[in-house]
Structure 1
Amino acid sequence: MQNIQTNKLFWASCLALLVTSLSFGIRAGMMTQLGLDFNLNATQLGTITATAFWGFPLAIVIGGMIVDIIGMKRLLVGAFLFHLTGIVLTIFAQGYWALFFSTLLIGIANGTVEAACNPLVATLYPKEKTTRLNYFHLWFPGGIVIGTLIVTLFLKLNLGWQLQVATMLIPTAVYGFLFSKLDFPPTERVSSGYSSGDMYRAVLSPLFLFMLVCMLMTAITELFTGQWIGMLLKNVTSNALLLLTLTTGIMVVGRAFAKPIVKKLAPQGVLLFSAIFAAAGLYMLSTFTGSSVFFAAVIFGIGVCYFWPTMIGFVAENIPQSGALGLNLMGGAGMFAVSIYTMFMGGFYDGLIVKHLPAGATLQTYSTAVEGTPEAAALAAARNLAGPEVLQVTLILPVILIIAFTCLVVYMRSRKTRQLATA
């Protein structure tokens, strides 16, 4: 007889997600240093960052397809092994390709964690899926805050990025041990009696496909901006990393208090509220300067706070037949969109910098200029102009989402009215 320890499973899941988010927070903090140590340009750094987002959708979609067959426990043991290998390879990386493959492995581990844990949380708490998914996903921004603080502390102590990455080994070992000892329930779709045919029909339904398209935009708005905020705004404010910490700190608090907000607005209302604040915050981040940038970061943090868990929660509550595959297709689509956008924007950012340099200048010449020279000053000025321009292009997405989620609120209200009328 299985002994399902709901709380222990939930906290072990949170710890696994903490490792996922630490990888984001620590990588965001060490991107500039990696560029210096290995002589990498923004396009190469963008590609390395993007590999984590490739591994994630690959793992989460494949995991969503097989989790009902092999079980959530085996999937999470696999995540532990991928995390362990990726972290160790990163620590001993000697150049671009080592960073590329180690980041890819960590991305696969991160996707495997979500492939198992999203359906696990929905299964453990069937009556409050969106609220519990918000509680679970607060460990994502929480880990980014911890990661950026680790980076800041280690930089002050003159400890290298290798030691920063090594700190992830501790929670990895703990979650691997916990999951190996605990019993797991079957997924909610299996226990509810929905067939595989029901699941595949559900993920092809118009409502699911609409949410999938919206997920592309919510993920880019949240994760691209979070990963690149340090690089894009480092010349606007000397505390760009602190901006990321502030934004993600707001997200932790917001998700911790999700219950009354979800109850009051319903998932679709929360998503509309989020899109409005995200658009306002992104506009402010791209136009404000000085200390007012921190106010912009607060508004943006409130905006993106509920996006990821509430998108998944909406599907879990309103399209339950889609099962683990539905939840994981959402996450996979989001991360894949971020990977493509990040690669495109790395090159776009380099192009904007060149545009703002003197005529005929090359990025390679100016990026190797010694500090204090006219070339170095010109590069700093060009980056100062290019960063906010990238954010202004990204602003288009939450504006589209405001329209989309307004339509979703209207649709869900009319659907509820029809259900009451036929009841």
Structure 2
Amino acid sequence: MENLIQSKKLFYTSCLALIVTAMTFAIRAKIMTMWGTDFKLTGEQVGLIAGTAFWGFTLAQIIGGPLIDIVGMRKILTLAFVGHLLGVAVTIFATSFWTLFLGTLLIGIANGSVEAACNPLVATIYSTQKTKMLNRFHMWFPGGNVIGGLIAYFMIDALHLSWQALMGVLLVPALIYGVLFLTQRFPQTERAASGISYKGMLKACVGPLFIFMVLCMFLTASTELGTSQWIEALLKQVGVSAILVFVFINFIMAIGRLFAGPVVHRLNPAGMLLFSAVFATLGLFWLSHASGYEAFAAAAVFAVGVCYFWPTMLGFVSEYIPETGALGLNIMGGAGMLSVAIILPFMGSWYDGNKAKALQQGADQVAAELQAGRDTMMTVIILPVILIVAFLFLFLKFRKKSKVSLTQTQPAAQTI
């Protein structure tokens, strides 16, 4: 009974840490354009600042992944806690491009450390239902985006408070999850408890199927997170509040992940990924043509598409290539965040170029921004189209294959 209670405490605290991670994305999505105005930055510069959060995330996962089994989950999560506190403080007192860059980088490292420790933690304590529970854990990424987005809307749009005050809100839940984690004990990872050697884990991480999944992760993450980070600019002139569209998308994503269990049972992970790619393509296409309240309907289709991408990619790897262990999950997460770090400046550059082109053709400022957002989304749509082909192949290959289970040779309850 004690082990069950401990597992639940670890899971719920992990969810809280992920909420903080997600809130940083929502708040940044709201205030990116404000940074551009306050610090006189171009769209590309704003994209570079936003992108560094993903570089930091990738750095933490790539370095933290191999260290999980060496230093333990607690130390990685302590790094996350300290990084969130420092990153928020540096951002609040930023005076230039470079201080914004540093603060965002620290927050990115903290976010990556949360994922680096919590993904293998959830996969370990729920080793017989990984895709379901990883979806349920990752429900709190869109859930945190909803919380952060609503707070951003009321503090900025309704109360007209400063973006610095909005950033300060992050300190409260960060302090809570930090204290909770510091008082808990952590299990060994599933890979270590099963007796698979470190060398065996490294070998599994260079297999062809794993490399294929890493390449797909580049595209799924860019489709989901690249679009969401630029949502304020992309939908700025569609006639509705872009941050409320952002909240709506993430609300649907949270509900979808909460009830992922029946979908996994019916479609299997590969089928879920194919389903997601099709709906993400349709949703992006509709969003690029929508105006007014129609944008919410288009956003709903897009949300249904992207809601299963991230956790199901992790679940597929954990269930079909479990010997990749914590390192495999963190390479996947790192690849996803690296792809977003790369695409964000490109999206900013595409947006600037599309806007300049519209202005040259005689459009006024509002019309130019509307067209720039639409043209940028039509460029991004190439990514989920490629994924439809890739996941169709995956589905045909794995629709009748059983998941791979690891046999524990060491007690899972051992703590580190």
User: Which TM-score band applies after superposition, normalised by the shorter structure?
Assistant: over 0.9
Partner of 1:169: 171
CA distance in 2, matches of 1:58, 1:384: 35
CA distance in 1, matches of 2:228, 2:276: 16
Deviates more, 1:17-26 or 1:152-161: 152-161
Letter in 2 for 1:206: P
Partner of 2:253: 251
Say whether the 8 Å CA contact 2:56–2:108 is kept in structure 1.
yes
Letter in 1 for 2:108: G
Partner of 1:131: 132
Residue 159 of structure 1, aligned match among 158, 161, 169: 161
Matches for 1:380-395 after TM superposition, within 5 Å: 380-395=366-381
Distance 1:414 1:257, change over 3 A: closer
Say whether the 8 Å CA contact 2:240–2:293 is kept in structure 1.
no
Letter in 2 for 1:76: L
Question: Are residue 399 (structure 1) and residue 385 (structure 2) matched?
Answer: yes
CA distance in 2, matches of 1:290, 1:284: 12
Distance 1:282 1:124, change over 3 A: same
Say whether the 8 Å CA contact 1:3–1:183 is kept in structure 2.
no
- Deviation of 1:413 after TM superposition, in Å, equals 3.1
Query: Which deviations, in whole Å up to 9, do the C-alpha atoms of 1:224-256 show, x marking residues without a partner?
Result: 111111111111223111111111110011011
Question: Are residue 264 (structure 1) and residue 266 (structure 2) matched?
Answer: yes
Partner of 1:90: 91
- Deviation of 1:4 after TM superposition, in Å, equals 7.2
CA distance in 1, matches of 2:69, 2:36: 42
Partner of 2:293: 291
SS in 1 for 2:253: helix
User: What's the % identity of the aligned pairs?
Assistant: 53
CA distance in 2, matches of 1:347, 1:377: 19
Residue 191 of structure 1, aligned match among 171, 190, 193: 193
Letter in 2 for 1:392: M
- Deviation of 1:122 after TM superposition, in Å, equals 0.2
Letter in 1 for 2:176: V
Query: Which deviations, in whole Å up to 9, do the C-alpha atoms of 1:44-70 show, x marking residues without a partner?
Result: 111111010100001011000111100
Residue 330 of structure 1, aligned match among 329, 332, 337: 332
Say whether the 8 Å CA contact 2:16–2:177 is kept in structure 1.
yes
SS in 1 for 2:376: helix
Query: Which deviations, in whole Å up to 9, do the C-alpha atoms of 1:259-312 show, x marking residues without a partner?
Result: 111111111111111111111000100112222111000000000000000000
Residue 224 of structure 2, aligned match among 208, 222, 226: 222
CA distance in 2, matches of 1:93, 1:329: 31
Query: Which deviations, in whole Å up to 9, do the C-alpha atoms of 1:16-74 show, x marking residues without a partner?
Result: 11111000001111122222221222111111110101000010110001111000011
SS in 2 for 1:28: helix
CA distance in 1, matches of 2:399, 2:355: 47
- Deviation of 1:319 after TM superposition, in Å, equals 0.5
Distance 1:196 1:234, change over 3 A: same
Partner of 1:13: 14
Say whether the 8 Å CA contact 1:56–1:112 is kept in structure 2.
yes
SS in 2 for 1:142: helix
Structure 2, unaligned runs of 5 or more: 404-416
Say whether the 8 Å CA contact 1:60–1:329 is kept in structure 2.
yes
- Deviation of 1:415 after TM superposition, in Å, equals 4.4
Letter in 2 for 1:48: I
Say whether the 8 Å CA contact 1:285–1:293 is kept in structure 2.
yes
Distance 1:395 1:169, change over 3 A: same
Q: TM-score, normalised by structure 2?
A: 0.94
Deviates more, 1:269-278 or 1:344-353: 344-353
Name the count of aligned residue pairs: 401
- Deviation of 1:105 after TM superposition, in Å, equals 0.4
Question: Are residue 358 (structure 1) and residue 360 (structure 2) matched?
Answer: yes
Partner of 1:364: none
Partner of 1:274: 276
Residue 410 of structure 1, aligned match among 374, 381, 396: 396
CA distance in 2, matches of 1:111, 1:130: 20
Deviates more, 1:54-63 or 1:151-160: 151-160
CA distance in 2, matches of 1:66, 1:194: 16
Letter in 1 for 2:285: Y
Structure 1, unaligned runs of 5 or more: 360-375, 418-423
Partner of 2:412: none
CA distance in 2, matches of 1:238, 1:300: 17
Query: Which deviations, in whole Å up to 9, do the C-alpha atoms of 1:112-166 show, x marking residues without a partner?
Result: 1100000000001001001110111111111111111111111211211111111
Residue 211 of structure 1, aligned match among 192, 210, 213: 213
Q: TM-score, normalised by structure 1?
A: 0.92
Partner of 1:362: none
CA distance in 2, matches of 1:302, 1:414: 25
SS in 1 for 2:360: coil
Say whether the 8 Å CA contact 1:4–1:184 is kept in structure 2.
no
SS in 2 for 1:223: helix
- Deviation of 1:414 after TM superposition, in Å, equals 5.6
